[in-house]
Chain A
Amino acid sequence: MSQREQSRFPRLLLGAAILFWGWQNQALVFAVPMAILYEIAPSFKWRWAFDSSDFNRLVDLTAVLFVATAIYQFDARGVHGVYGILQWLPALLYVLLIGQRYSARGRIGLGSLFLSIRRALARGDIAREASVDFAFPYFGGCLLSGVAGTVRGEWLTPAFVALLVVGLAHARGKRHSWMMWTGVVCFAVSLGYAGQWGVRTARQAMEPLIMELMREYMVSRRDPFRTQTSIGEIGQIKTSQRIDMRVEPDSQGHVPDLLTQGVYRVYAFGSWLIGRQSMDVLQPTDGGLTWTFGPEPAEASRRELTVTRFLNRGRGVLAMPPGSWQLRDLGVETLEQYGYGAMRIKRGPDLVHYKVRFDPTRQTQPEPDLIDLQLPRAYRDTFQSLATKLGKDGLSERERVAAITRHFATDFSYSLQGSREQDELPLKRFLEISRSGHCEYFATATVLALRAAGIPARYATGYAVQEWGELEKAYVVRRRHAHAWALAYVDGAWEVLDTTPASWLPFESANPPWWLDGYDVWQWLSHLYSKWRWRTDAEDEFPWIVLIVLPLVVILIWRLRGQRVEADTDIANKPVTHPGENSPLLTITALYSVRDLGPDVTEPLSAWYRRLLAQGHLSDDNELFTEALRLHDRLRFDPDGLDAAQVKRLAEICERWRSKYLA
């Protein structure tokens, strides 16, 4: 392509697009000279005589720049580096654009842009190299980079719409009038504006659902046996509507308020650690379904709950009511009990449905030791001064506990703030500045305040049982019901001390997402299916698979019914018909066969006809008889066959043939 091709891109439009990019990315200092250099090109009469190899070098240079920028951006901003690359895209591709603009060729061959085509050209596999006007994709790149910029503002949309409209006006076909074009553009742009509102609204509506699904995925992959919990972990799942458990109350309709999952003793670097503790592998009785791990209490204090919960890949930690001593109907392979009460299933089904027996008056926590009085060094002064302020000296244990409870009940409020904040000392901020947070802050601060006041304390996590599910006719425990509280050793016994304002449940239940009802129905159906799938008495049940197979069998029988009728008609004795067997030409061949001149079994009629001609059995009417052969073939092989006129014509020719040569 030695001749210069005139670019079809409208004058000044690309310069304006470059300025748009520079404006939105605060890069006008680069964009202005870039735009000027591009747009003044027609003022110069000279051009570089670039050939394919020169463009190859320009593309290679651009690729190196692109890769270097990508490495830098991903290194500096992680996965968000992709936005950085997008923002600088016009600058990265500018070398290529200006190379095209000032080249005599005016376009870039695809061989320069794609290595595969470059290699194919070198091999000679492609004879003609296609080319592209790079200004067009570059314009698209400028628009994309512009909308990824940081300035934004109300003029963003009008600006890029103006650029698009100018471009479309330039490409307008001659088929339609300006008036029609203007009307269509106005309509489309209005629709675009409405679409923007729609996207924003849809996003606001869908974001919580998407976050919920992502969180569910992340939680499902988390190790269920973690020996620590960090401040903010519960806060992160406070908007999750996922139902983790269903709890059926006992015969009196009672359920405990809290189900304990883990008890932690050591607080360090913003995390609670379990610390060293004993572990027992429990042995089941009663055919492997009953697990007893405490003395049987008196009949009067016995209570029982029925719990159904999902396990992540058959593993998980059970949430237990205080004073549990036995689990029944729990069909798992391995169950471990830890010193501070945690019960872990190491191998089991994905859904467990069990009864837990407990005695609320029973103490299951081991006696306190020095660890239960330890304060982290960073917070020592803070909590010591808090304890002094609350008047730890001269008060009884119970009075000190009451003072701490009062303290958190008066000036503190519940909120989900702080769950994502990365403070160095989040509790100090909580106590002295924000005075607002969620249960982890209250529970941790309470535990440390109790310890500072000389009362042994532990940090407990689990679930609050509060919401009645009408579908299940049981209490549903959602993931957002995860809770943390303190255990205080007062007067020789462990007591639950929950200082989180009681408003936390109504607070979290307010403003439910629009999709919650549907999601709950879906969860209920999933629960029913899982319950059926993981039932323990499968052997005695109705074979449900029959319900699936039965309709299929009925359909099969229905379809076979028609075939049975066919079989009754005795196909074997039915004469077989072939298309074209009534062709009058076959009468002719039969007449020749009588004279030992008929076609051989393997001989096509055309070859047979040529043989007759060669042997002198036919003399003229060649065209006529060839037409007869052609019509006969169509009668035999053409799916549409012959129409009445053609059948008549074939009969006429054959009759003429017969009367002339076979009479």
Chain B
Amino acid sequence: MVAVTSWLLRLYRRLARVERYFTRRFTPLGRLVLGVLVVAALFAVDTRRTEAYQLFSVLAALLLVSFLLSMRARTTLEFKRYLPALATAREPFDYVVELSNPSHRPQAGLWIQDRLNTIWPNAAALKLDKSSRPSWMPWFAYRRWYRVLRAGRGATTDEGHEVDLAARGRTTVKMSAHPLRRGYVLFEGLDVGTVDPLGLCRHVRVKPTTAALVVVPKPWPVEVPREGFGGRTELGSGSVSSGIGNSQEFHSLREYRYGDPPRNIHWRSWARRGEPIVREFQAEAMRRHCIVVDHYGIPEGDDRLEVVIQVAAGLVRSATELGTTVSLLTDAEELVASDGGEIDDLLVHLATLGVADDTQLAALDERIARELPYMSGVTLVLARWDEVRHTAIASMRRFDLDLRVVVAVVDEDAEFDAGPMGDRPSHLHTVMVSNTPQPLVLTA
């Protein structure tokens, strides 16, 4: 069986290479001519019944001449790729490639296409693919393998662009890509092709230039309370106020946000700037809402892990938009926190998050306890709702913390036991694992 799988995987790799060869080597028109040629060849066998052999020989001659003429071509080209700082999974983005022609000869009719790093899927990667039902026919298995291959690349790029470059000229091409998943997308070069006089075949050369782009998870639609996540009335080692901005130590001025107490309004600044300005106090500036991302012991490829990460990204974005400082608690040694409304670090952290050891779950309450002075509340985004997690939540609740739990569930109809959150059902939420996310609404 192992030998068969290995043989099939080798066959798929060859097929993918052939497919890639044909799409690069032949223009769309060339592929059309090739298709008609194949059909004509089938009917050309019987020269008495049809005259398909006439069409076959003319098309074969056109393709042959075109192919031979495209064997060699001279292109001198320099390019630079300008990628965005971050991209979001499943959201197409545009970027720019700047091309310059250092030679004295104009370069007309160039064809360019970006080339992404290819990691050939192995049997283990195929097993992780949950995107379709198991296939038993090799051909369908190939399509499935190819889907995994595309997912491994992380994105799809444009079919190709035609560019004209004057002698010593420079131009920019707007290209687009469509990220398929979070993580890194590696660009390993640019395919540059020149088309033969008949426009059927290309001579393609690869201009290697590597670049990496981080694709952050697509945030789950999350609605957080306008008045914020709420806060604690008492900390373990001192007393602070319960609302936002109640501490007595002045920290800075900032714009008014919905829910700010009127007594914090700094009237003089409002008068000077013409918009409401409030005083921010030190405790508020230091306090953060902590989002615990449950990636502990989740099998790789499990859809629930992706949903948990997307929900965490949604929480980060929505909370930050309302002015709340948030931090992420994962298996990383330190908390990753938003800085002055900037959430890029958090999203990058989520983009590269893998699976963590489930033994770390038991120590989660200790890590919360350590960070307690800096927390205004905790939202746990869980991939499972089992005994281990119940115990961890029960342990966390002794901190008198504003604790919310969001659980990713697979089966909508399955009975859901509130467990340790039974006495606070309003702080327990579920999200369905689905390709079409339903908004998560958190109540005050």
Contact A175 B109 (CB under 8 A): yes
Number of interface residues of B (CB under 8 A): 49
Q: Which A residues lie within 8 Å of B56 (CB)?
A: 195, 199
A contact patch SS: helix
Say yes or no: is B86 at the interface (Cβ < 8 Å to chain A).
no
With A140-B32, A140-B35, A171-B29 in contact, do A160 and B52 touch (Cβ < 8 Å)?
no
Say yes or no: is B53 at the interface (Cβ < 8 Å to chain A).
yes
Contact A144 B40 (CB under 8 A): yes
Residue from A143, A174, A192 within 8 A of B109 (CB atoms): A174
- Among A143, A149, A188, A203, find the residue whose CB has the most chain B CB atoms closer than 10 A: A188
Q: Which A residues lie within 8 Å of B28 (CB)?
A: 136
Query: Measured between C-beta atoms, what is the minimum distance from A465 to chain B in Å?
Result: 36
Interface residues of A in 157-189 (CB under 8 A from B): 157, 160-161, 164, 167-168, 171-176, 180-181, 184-185, 187-189
Distance A152 CA – B52 CA, assembled complex (angstroms): 11
Residue from B33, B53, B436 within 8 A of A199 (CB atoms): B53
Say yes or no: is A83 at the interface (Cβ < 8 Å to chain B).
yes
By beta carbon, the residue of chain A nearest B176 is A128
Interface residues of A in 112-153 (CB under 8 A from B): 116, 123-125, 127-128, 136-137, 140, 143-144, 147-149, 152
Contact with A along B43-73 (1 / 0, CB 8 A): 1100101111111111111101110010000
Query: Measured between C-beta atoms, what is the minimum distance from B77 to chain A in Å?
Result: 13
Say yes or no: is A377 at the interface (Cβ < 8 Å to chain B).
no
Say yes or no: is B131 at the interface (Cβ < 8 Å to chain A).
yes
Say yes or no: is A59 at the interface (Cβ < 8 Å to chain B).
no
Residue from B57, B58, B64, B131 within 8 A of A125 (CB atoms): B131
By beta carbon, the residue of chain A nearest B143 is A116
Contact A196 B32 (CB under 8 A): no
With A175-B195, A198-B57 in contact, do A147 and B64 touch (Cβ < 8 Å)?
no
With A140-B35, A199-B47 in contact, do A188 and B65 touch (Cβ < 8 Å)?
yes
Contact B61 A192 (CB under 8 A): yes
Q: Which A residues lie within 8 Å of B69 (CB)?
A: 184
With A174-B109, A192-B60 in contact, do A200 and B53 touch (Cβ < 8 Å)?
yes
Interface residues of A in 66-118 (CB under 8 A from B): 80, 83, 86, 116
Say yes or no: is B169 at the interface (Cβ < 8 Å to chain A).
no
Query: Measured between C-beta atoms, what is the minimum distance from A515 to chain B in Å?
Result: 18
Q: Which A residues lie within 8 Å of B132 (CB)?
A: 125
Distance A192 CA – B27 CA, assembled complex (angstroms): 21
Distance A173 CA – B29 CA, assembled complex (angstroms): 12
Query: Measured between C-beta atoms, what is the minimum distance from A232 to chain B in Å?
Result: 21
Contact A187 B62 (CB under 8 A): no
Contact B58 A172 (CB under 8 A): no
Say yes or no: is A156 at the interface (Cβ < 8 Å to chain B).
yes
Query: Measured between C-beta atoms, what is the minimum distance from A421 to chain B in Å?
Result: 19
Q: Which A residues lie within 8 Å of B376 (CB)?
A: none
Number of interface residues of A (CB under 8 A): 48
Q: Which B residues lie within 8 Å of A127 (CB)?
A: 90, 92, 178
Say yes or no: is B194 at the interface (Cβ < 8 Å to chain A).
yes
Distance A136 CA – B199 CA, assembled complex (angstroms): 15
Query: Measured between C-beta atoms, what is the minimum distance from B195 to chain A in Å?
Result: 4
With A127-B178, A144-B36 in contact, do A175 and B51 touch (Cβ < 8 Å)?
no
By beta carbon, the residue of chain A nearest B202 is A173
Contact B50 A185 (CB under 8 A): no
Contact A143 B55 (CB under 8 A): yes
Contact A147 B40 (CB under 8 A): yes
Distance A185 CA – B196 CA, assembled complex (angstroms): 12
Distance A164 CA – B36 CA, assembled complex (angstroms): 12
- Among B40, B57, B110, find the residue whose CB has the most chain A CB atoms closer than 10 A: B57
Say yes or no: is A49 at the interface (Cβ < 8 Å to chain B).
no
Q: Which B residues lie within 8 Å of A116 (CB)?
A: 143
By beta carbon, the residue of chain B nearest A148 is B50
Distance A80 CA – B50 CA, assembled complex (angstroms): 11
Query: Measured between C-beta atoms, what is the minimum distance from B413 to chain A in Å?
Result: 20
Contact A144 B194 (CB under 8 A): no
Query: Measured between C-beta atoms, what is the minimum distance from B176 to chain A in Å?
Result: 10
Contact A187 B65 (CB under 8 A): yes
Say yes or no: is B435 at the interface (Cβ < 8 Å to chain A).
yes
Contact B131 A144 (CB under 8 A): no
Q: Which B residues lie within 8 Å of A83 (CB)?
A: 43, 49-50
Say yes or no: is B197 at the interface (Cβ < 8 Å to chain A).
yes
Interface residues of B in 1-55 (CB under 8 A from A): 27-29, 32-33, 35-36, 39-40, 43-44, 47, 49-55
Contact B197 A180 (CB under 8 A): yes
Q: Which B residues lie within 8 Å of A557 (CB)?
A: none
Contact A147 B436 (CB under 8 A): no
- Among A123, A161, A173, A194, find the residue whose CB has the most chain B CB atoms closer than 10 A: A173
Q: Which A residues lie within 8 Å of B196 (CB)?
A: 173, 176
Distance A171 CA – B30 CA, assembled complex (angstroms): 10
With A140-B32, A181-B198, A195-B57 in contact, do A147 and B50 touch (Cβ < 8 Å)?
yes
By beta carbon, the residue of chain A nearest B195 is A173
Distance A136 CA – B27 CA, assembled complex (angstroms): 13
Say yes or no: is A505 at the interface (Cβ < 8 Å to chain B).
no
Q: Which B residues lie within 8 Å of A12 (CB)?
A: none
Distance A198 CA – B57 CA, assembled complex (angstroms): 9
Contact A173 B58 (CB under 8 A): no
Distance A125 CA – B56 CA, assembled complex (angstroms): 39
Enumerate 30 A-B pairs (CB-CB under 8 Å) in ascending A order: A124-B436, A125-B131, A144-B36, A144-B43, A147-B54, A148-B51, A148-B52, A156-B54, A157-B54, A157-B58, A160-B54, A167-B29, A168-B62, A168-B199, A171-B27, A173-B196, A188-B61, A188-B64, A189-B58, A189-B61, A191-B64, A192-B58, A193-B58, A195-B60, A196-B53, A196-B54, A196-B57, A199-B47, A199-B56, A199-B57
Interface residues of B (CB under 8 A from A): 27-29, 32-33, 35-36, 39-40, 43-44, 47, 49-62, 64-66, 69, 90, 92, 107-110, 131-132, 143, 164, 178, 194-199, 435-436
3 A-B pairs closest in CB distance = A195-B57, A192-B58, A124-B435
